Structure 1
Amino acid sequence: MSASAPNAFLRGGPDHCDHKRVRYVRDVRDTYKLPVGHAYEHFRPTDETLEHQAGTLRIFEWVTRTYVAE
């Protein structure tokens, strides 16, 4: 597997994340922050996996949104 091959699936959260569900996450043990506009969608890793055409993906569950300070 290459260093940037998809290894995570982002479950839940707002619809604007739909086209960004399959991702490469550097550390699958930490919460992943997906930048979207002036906010971050936060996804927490679970123990679940999903078989996908990209391979076995760790499932991350949406937990919250935070906004970038100006």
Structure 2
Amino acid sequence: MSSAKSDVMTDHEPNIILRGGPDWLPEEERTRFESDLGEKLKVLIGNAYEHFVPTGETVEREGVRLRVFLWSRRTYVAE
């Protein structure tokens, strides 16, 4: 499983887009770079992890092909 991420900006071009999950997740944070496209993705947002799974679907945005990951669940950070 991918490690938790709190930063969206990287030196890499975006290659995935996140669908579903919390409505308050900003659109600019839904398009991001992920090095492991075959695994579940766990994104740290506030005090919870949003989990996304790869769908096999792709979309094109601004001339870039993005792999679609679909929201599957939320878990909370243990205190």
The two structures have a TM-score, normalised by structure 2, of: 0.79
Q: Quick check: 1:45 aligned with 2:50?
A: no
Quickly say closer, same or farther: Cα 1:63–1:51, change in 2 above 3 A: same
Give the % identical residues.
Answer: 49
Moved more, 3-12 or 38-47: 3-12
Give the ranges of 4+ consecutive aligned residues of structure 1 lying more than 3 Å apart after TM superposition: none
Amino acid at match of 2:43: L
Bigger strand fraction = 1
Moved more, 56-65 or 12-21: 12-21
Alpha-carbon RMSD across the aligned residues, in angstroms, is: 1.3
Amino acid at match of 1:47: G
The two structures have a TM-score, normalised by structure 1, of: 0.89
Amino acid at match of 1:32: L
Quickly say closer, same or farther: Cα 1:54–1:13, change in 2 above 3 A: farther
The corresponding residue for 2:41 is: 32
Ranges in structure 1 where 5+ consecutive residues have no aligned partner: none
Deviation at 1:30, TM superposition (A): 0.6
Bigger helix fraction = 1
Contact 1:6 1:54 in 2 (8 A): no
Supply the distance in 2 between the matched residues of 1:34 and 1:13 (Cα, whole angstroms). 11
Ranges in structure 2 where 5+ consecutive residues have no aligned partner: 1-10
Number of residue-to-residue matches in the alignment:
68
